[in-house]
Structure 1
Amino acid sequence: MLDVHIDDFYMDCAAILLSGLRAFPRQQPLFIEDISGPDTVDEFGLHSPRHMAALGAVQWLQEEGFIRFSNINRQDSVDDFVLTSKAFTRLIPPVENHYLRDHNGALTDATPVFQVLEFARLQNDSLWVGELIRECLLASQQA
């Protein structure tokens, strides 16, 4: 089983990508607290490790070419956030049957990746989210 921080990373990536898809193709600000949850800075003005991990996921997705943004505002948000074509084209095709789980017919073989990812995220199923991120989004990089 993966470390909890990797599970959080996959959940953060899902939240970031789904947020971008909801507004696609419009640019928008993306607030890190919308990904990591409420944050309080310490007496030195430093964010929590959880907040910084979510910011790291945003930066990693940009470096890997899944998202674009213009700048980071005091580690609180990014401006002009938008999905790239690479992310968009990996989120919209129908998911393969073996990634569907038995959820009383809520999902079908024609369900796009983003809907399955959102469903898994709402179920708070970090293992399923991780599998979808790895296989439907990241594994496609090697092809």
Structure 2
Amino acid sequence: MADIHVEEFYKDAAVALVQLYSAFPRRVNLFVEDIAGPDEPDEFGLHSKRHMACFGALLWLAEEGFLRYVDTIRQEALDQAVLTQEAFVRLSSPAPDVLVQALRGPESPLETPLPPSLQEDMSSHIHLVRTALKSRHSLRIGHAVRATLFADKQGD
């Protein structure tokens, strides 16, 4: 079992990427509370560790070239965030068949063949990330996000 902060990172990254992909190519404000849930700063105005971990995940995605933003809104949001070209292409591209089958799981076999265009769409990285999020299964979310973020690194 992975450390809980790593599982939360995968979930935060997945939610952020799905939000940005859904808005692409528009720039949007990416609010931490929309991703990690509500947070009540303490008496000193400091956010919880969970809130700050999510904010850190967003900044990491930017530092690693998955998104761009104009500025931060305190530690509440990224202002005018958008996917980078590399992230958009990666999310739109087909995932390896082995990964598609593994993340689809035995409970949802495809009994009838789908049209090629739909089959391609359902094998994209973004579809796998969305499906994993809907499952609320942390291992599936982790696999989908790792496959998306580190697609170029696999097989090294």
TM-score normalised according to structure 1 size: 0.91
- Matching residue of 2:15: 15
CA distance in 2, matches of 1:28, 1:75: 16
Task: Please give the alpha-carbon distance, in whole angstroms, between the structure 2 residues aligned to 1:17 and 1:36.
Answer: 14
Q: Deviations over 1:25-71 (max 9, x none)?
A: 01011111011101111111001111000000000000000000011
* TM-align CA RMSD: 1.8
CA contact 1:15–1:35 (8 Å) conserved in 2: yes
- Return the index of the structure with the highest Cα Rg: 2
Offset, 1:141: 5.1
Distance in structure 1 (CA, Å) of the matches to 2:142 and 2:134: 13
Separation in 2, partners of 1:23, 1:97: 27
> 1:116 matched to which residue of 2?
128
Q: How far apart, CA to CA, are the structure 2 residues paired with 1:98 and 1:137?
A: 17
Q: After the TM superposition, which parts of structure 1 deviate over 4 Å for at least 4 consecutive aligned residues?
A: none
Q: Secondary structure at the match of 2:43?
A: coil
Residue 152 of structure 2 aligns to a residue whose secondary structure is: helix
User: Identity across aligned pairs (percent)?
Assistant: 42
Partner of 1:104: 108
Contact 1:113 1:136 in 2 (8 A): yes
Structure 1: gaps (5+ residues): none
Q: Which residue number in structure 1 is paired with residue 53 of structure 2? A: 53
> How many residue pairs end up in the alignment?
142
Following the alignment from structure 1 to structure 2, what is the Cα–Cα distance between the partners of residues 45 and 78? 19
Q: TM-score, normalised by structure 2?
A: 0.84
Counterpart of 1:126 (choices 138, 142, 145) is 138
Q: Which moved more, 1:16-25 or 1:125-134?
A: 125-134
Asked whether the equivalents of residues 13 and 57 of structure 1 are also in contact (C-alpha less than 8 Å), the reply is yes
Structure 2, unaligned runs of 5 or more: none
